[in-house]
Copies of this chain bind each other. A is one copy, B any other.
Amino acid sequence: MKLLLKIRYIGTDYCGYQVQPNAVSVQQRLNEAALSLFGYECDIVGCSRTDSGVHANMFCATVSRKGATSLETSVPCEKLPLALSAHLPWDISVYGAEWVSDDFHARYDVVEKEYVYRIWNSPSRNPFEENRSFHAPKRIDAEGLLQMQRAADYLVGTQDFSSYMAQGSSVASTVRTVKRVTVEQSGEVLTLRFCADGFLYNMVRILAGTLLDVGLGKKTPEDIPRITAARDRAMAGMTMPACGLYLDRVLYRDEDKKK
């Protein structure tokens, strides 16, 4: 059996999830914690390669013993989150653990992912939002929010999203199924929520930049289907900074955990 972990982390001080030379990654910290706790090297496989500075409210990763299929530990499953967290720095914590079959794959078995993009929408900066959201000083009014939601609705469906993909990534297909995109306002925080079966490289950050353009009146909701159809990155909005992006939810099928 492998261990499937639920992890939360602040991405600010990491080069992203994945191990990289000459930079500190979340995966490296997980490797070190697992070695400390279990006493042997582990293979840690994450659900996604989140970029440098991107946060996670829910990141999933499997842990197995290096060179073996299974993991052995005398620590009861319900105690593992606290036991692992004790070996992790303050900005990473494990809050869930369950046993899954050796055939389960943290990345390929994902059926649905949800990302959140947070925007602090106020003329003044907010210390509590530093590195936790993007600061858009110009206020978006109720009409702007409605336009953003109308634009968001055009993104739902199975479509070619290559207009919203950053250069330098090679994927077999640029078609993804977006299930929901919502725009919520709570005080001066705008929360854009994107749910899909998967995302292209930088897709959420480019979608967020495009929706922000609509909120600021630089684009109309009706521009969205045109941008999508063009399959031209240059037509979409800017790639928003990593500090506002959160992986918020990862969904697996129960049968995949037991296969």
Task: List residues of A whose CB falls within 8 A of some B CB.
Answer: 8-10, 55, 57, 81-82, 85, 90-95, 122-128, 130, 132
Residues of chain B within 8 A of A55, CB atoms compared: 128
Determine whether the beta carbon of A81 is less than 8 Å from that of B124: yes
Contact of A127 among B8, B125, B128, B130 (CB under 8 A): B8
If the complex has contacts A82-B123, A95-B122, A123-B81, are A8 and B90 also in contact, measured as CB distance less than 8 A?
no
Determine whether the beta carbon of A91 is less than 8 Å from that of B130: yes
Residues of chain B within 8 A of A125, CB atoms compared: 85, 93
Interface of A is mostly: mixed
Give Cα distance in the complex from A13 to B7, angstroms: 27
Give Cα distance in the complex from A83 to B132, angstroms: 23
Determine whether the beta carbon of B124 is less than 8 Å from that of A85: yes
Residues of chain B within 8 A of A123, CB atoms compared: 81-82, 95
Residues of chain B within 8 A of A126, CB atoms compared: 8, 93, 95
The 7 closest A-B pairs by CB, nearest first: A95-B124, A91-B127, A10-B127, A93-B125, A81-B124, A90-B130, A93-B124
A53 to chain B, nearest CB (A): 14
Give Cα distance in the complex from A126 to B9, angstroms: 8
**20 additional A-B residue pairs with CB within 8 Å, beyond A93-B125, A93-B126:** A8-B124, A8-B126, A8-B128, A9-B127, A10-B127, A10-B128, A55-B128, A81-B123, A81-B124, A82-B124, A85-B124, A85-B125, A90-B130, A91-B130, A92-B127, A93-B124, A94-B124, A95-B122, A95-B123, A95-B124
